[in-house]
A = this chain, B = another copy of it.
Amino acid sequence: MTSRADASDMPHDGETKTPDRLRRRASRLLSGLTAQSDRLVNEGLAEVDARKWHYAVLASLQEHGPGSQATLSRRTGIYRSDMVGVLNELAERDLIERTPDPDDRRRNVITITTRGRQRLRRLDQVLDDLHDELLAPLAPAERDQFVQLLTRLLDHHRHTPEPHG
């Protein structure tokens, strides 16, 4: 409907090598898909009054044990300036406990509570469902492969931030 508008100079590119580069650029595909994924996850978690950082912190505590805020920062990838707020939200909901570390009075030791563990189980269910939706078009083997490729790429770029002058 939107009228005809073009058809005057078509894909007469001049360089025949790239058919539709826009749609094939991995960086574009990545940010597009991540936008969808983030939306999906954020909305799904919002429905149970949670955010993805909540999950990250709780899971990290469950799997690697208690730690200082700075430790959690490194484990989860949350900036330590943002960690404050996340931990406040979690503490309000009695999912974690913040206690001063007697061995190093700069530190707080963060511990997951029993309610926190319950909460984590719930969030894991929610996320399982959301990931089922996210990866719906892929067969199980493809999902594994996808995760594996992502992991390799991410590991590479984590350890190789930049040559940088």
State whether A146 touches B26 (Cβ < 8 A). yes
Best-surrounded residue of A60, A121, A146 (most CB of chain B within 10 A):
A146
Q: Which of B18, B147, B149, B156 contacts A145 (CB 8 A)?
A: B149
Within the assembled complex, what's the spacing in Å between the Cα atoms of A156 and B29?
12
Contact mask for chain A residues 23-67; partner B; CB cutoff 8 A; 1 contact, 0 none? 111111111111011101100000000001000100110111111
State whether B24 touches A147 (Cβ < 8 A). yes
Contact mask for chain A residues 100-132; partner B; CB cutoff 8 A; 1 contact, 0 none? 000110000100000001000100100100110
Within the assembled complex, what's the spacing in Å between the Cα atoms of A124 and B20?
12
Within the assembled complex, what's the spacing in Å between the Cα atoms of A76 and B70?
40
Query: What B residues does A32 contact at CB under 8 A?
Result: 77, 154
Query: What B residues does A76 contact at CB under 8 A?
Result: 22
The total of chain A residues at the interface (CB under 8 A) is 77
State whether B153 touches A5 (Cβ < 8 A). no
Since A28-B56, A137-B152 are in contact, a sample of 15 more A-B pairs with Cβ atoms closer than 8 Å, ordered by chain A residue number, is A2-B70, A5-B65, A9-B65, A25-B131, A26-B131, A27-B130, A28-B52, A29-B147, A31-B38, A36-B158, A40-B157, A136-B156, A137-B153, A145-B149, A149-B149
Residues of A within 8 A of B (CB): 2-3, 5-11, 13-15, 18, 20-34, 36-38, 40-41, 52, 56, 59-60, 62-68, 70-71, 76-77, 103-104, 109, 117, 121, 124, 127, 130-131, 134-138, 142-143, 145-147, 149-158
